[in-house]
Structure 1
Amino acid sequence: MNSIYDRCSIRKFKQESLKKSEINKILRAAFCAPSAKNAQPWFFIVTEDKEKLKELSEFSPYAKLLADAALGIVVCADTDCNPSLDYCQQDCAAATQNMLVEAKELNIGSCWLGGYPNEDRVQTLKMYFKLPQNIVPLWMVAFGYPDQKQEPKDKFKESKIRYE
């Protein structure tokens, strides 16, 4: 469980490809997430193509780091599995957190790059991948071997807890 406490966003990556077995472990972790009615409304688009990652680094002003990432995963909601985008977003967030923690467990850096609810970012990803109506791209996650030392912060705040 130390990976939960030690995980932090990494924005600088070594120019080295991830192993297929590592990518598989990260994706398998996503599928272990809970979801409303066990609908599992997630759909993942995985790309290691450097040219695509460079192009995708423009989907958001905060996504520039994708150009140097080894891997990008677009996390999408499949509204055919659950028509409530609100529930899909919660389920996909849980899957994303699992990927981030598993990546840390594998000594792989990661950074969650927000998209939804920014409609411009969502539409950019939807058009780029030519997605059908039922597949809604929510955000991307960049992965790669860290090329920076980032110390995790203790974020625990007793003041944000109310015991009754």
Structure 2
Amino acid sequence: MDDSILKLRRSVREFKDDDVSSDLINKVIYAACQSPSARNQQPWRFVVVKNKQILSNLAHISKYSAFLENVPAVIAIVKKNESLSTPDMASIDLSCCATYLMLEATSLGLGTCFLGVWPRLDRMKLCNKALNLAADLETFALIPIGYPKSEESFYEKKDRFNPDIIRWEE
């Protein structure tokens, strides 16, 4: 595997005003849907937000989300609660899903930032209301997406691998 995308992915919080096409958003969501899930339950749903009023509402869920006021789009990763065979695994499944989404976005020249909502009930309640979610859905994470304002957003990060973190049992 070419690890260059892994080394380039960064949390981006400042974006150009340029619109992100629905084709590109569909590509990153397609990639997210290829992620593994326990018992193939695929607990994910997605809400794509470009509406400025909703973005403003989402910007107020925590002190860390204020920059959402100025992003071209947010992809909300939403958990469906109905009939999950292994509901305790859904947060792991959704984390994998978010990772696939962000890596695909990076490969397309788009910046993202993972904003965790779950398990903070206060944030979940505010997001669920802002997104007008049905009762069987709950917000897991918000992923702002767009073209980074700075070209330097995609620089290769320092190699974080440390062989001392591995123990071999042979």
Q: TM-score, normalised by structure 2?
A: 0.89
Q: In 1, are the aligned partners of 2:54 and 2:130 still within 8 Å (CA)? A: no
Per-residue CA deviation, residues 52-111 of structure 1 (Å, 9 max, x unaligned), is 212211112111121121110111111114164431111111111011000000000000
Alignment correspondent of 2:79: 77
In structure 1, runs of 5+ residues without a counterpart are none
Alignment correspondent of 2:92: 90
The count of corresponding residues between Structure 1 and Structure 2 is 164
2: CA distance between counterparts of 1:83 and 1:60?
32
Note closer, same or farther for the CA distance 1:114–1:6 as it changes in structure 2 (3 Å cut): same
Q: TM-score, normalised by structure 1?
A: 0.92
Q: Structure 1 stretches (4+) deviating beyond 6 angstroms?
A: none
Deviation at 1:160, TM superposition (A): 2.1
Match 2:161 to one of 146, 156, 159:
156
2: CA distance between counterparts of 1:81 and 1:124?
24
Farther-moved stretch of structure 1 (122-131 vs 41-50): 122-131
2: CA distance between counterparts of 1:122 and 1:132?
13
Structure 1 counterpart of 2:160, one-letter code: K
Per-residue CA deviation, residues 17-61 of structure 1 (Å, 9 max, x unaligned), is 012211110110111011111111101111111222122111121
Deviation at 1:121, TM superposition (A): 0.4
SS in 2 for 1:62: helix
Q: In 2, are the aligned partners of 1:41 and 1:81 still within 8 Å (CA)? A: no
Q: In 1, are the aligned partners of 2:39 and 2:86 still within 8 Å (CA)? A: no
* Identical pairs, percent: 29
In structure 2, runs of 5+ residues without a counterpart are none
